[in-house]
Structure formats: structure tokens, C-alpha cells
Structure 1
């Protein structure tokens, strides 16, 4: 099954401070790329992060098995470098097989949590 595209962009990225519950990863501020690989082959994805005030970071190498989904938290990225909080960034995903990418953000800075989601732009 060929669902998705090879190139995805999330032009808006910003991980807020962790919020009032920094010891609980489920309730700390974060951004996630939800990646769906509905095909029959493993997806090998290169992720590059772009910033307003420095050179890009990456590529980060991501694998998504066939017929699976991966919820990739940007604050879990470590290699080649961690993503700093409170920094504007954009992300570009390049996959060797078609995938679908959706973006979510949990902003936990206030007592009332806010969750935002949007489909990434594909080409």
C-alpha cells in the first residue's frame, strides 16, 4: 500500500519549558512527529532541523517498520545532538518510502494543558 509522500516539512517548531510537572514525561511540554508507515517496507527517514540563528542539525536517522506508526518526541532526539528547548526550529523529513507525518505539541507551562496538532506539509 502506498500511502503518503517522501518529503514532509513542519515549518513551525518550538518546545516550551517543561512546565509545572517536569518529572512526569507524559505531562511535560513536548513536540512529537507522528509517522505512519502503511507500506510493506521499512521506512528509513533522515530528519534535519533548521534554526533561525545557526546552521542545521542532523541528519537524525529514524526507522519505522512496515505497517507501523512511530511517535517521535523531538525532546528525545540525541544523535547527532539534542534539540534545545525555548528555541524556534523547523523540521524536514526525507523518507525512502512513502509515509505520513503529523505534528503535535503539548504545552504544559500553565496548569491547564494545551494540545495542538496539524498535518505536516508534503511534496
Structure 2
């Protein structure tokens, strides 16, 4: 039981937890991943439609909530965050027109045979 005379052994902030467990390198990598997700969702909100703006609200809310709880350490929340972040990355590729490896292979085959 945690009280006024006891201190938690693990921080609630997910960034502090990663910095304390993996050191500077792991913390910087994890922070960069979260910053990339946030940046891509902002790009989606700028170029996309209304659903992309609501997706930005969900990403900001999830990242803000993870600053106060160990959000990514519980299975249900991790499942939600994984779906949310993968949808952000999927929408970013669809909006920006980024060619994936499979699309490049298909276009290469098309130009090769026609």
C-alpha cells in the first residue's frame, strides 16, 4: 500500500519509466517514436478530413494520459494504443502518397511487362 511515508518504486510517467529502465539511449529512442507519431498525426489533421482531426485528438489524449499513468504497460491500453498508432501511420501513407515497398514492386512489374 502506498501512503505518505512510502514512495512508489516505479514512476507513473511512461517517459520517466523508459528513461530510468533503458537509460538515455532507450529513452531518447522511445521519445522520438512518440514525437514521430504525434507529428504524423498533426500532418494527417492538416491534410486530411474531419476524422483525421479526431484522430489527432485521440493521439494527443493518449500521449497526455501516458504522462500520468503507465498507460502502455497494461494489455488493454497497449492494444488500444497499438491500433491507434498503426491507424495514424496508415492514414499518413494514404494522405501523403508515400509509396510502400509492395507498391513499388507492383509498379516495377507493370513497367517491366508493359
TM-score scaled to structure 1, two decimals? 0.25
Higher relative CO (Cα under 8 Å, sequence separation at least 6) belongs to 1
Higher share in helix: 2
Higher share in strand: 1
TM-score scaled to structure 2, two decimals? 0.27
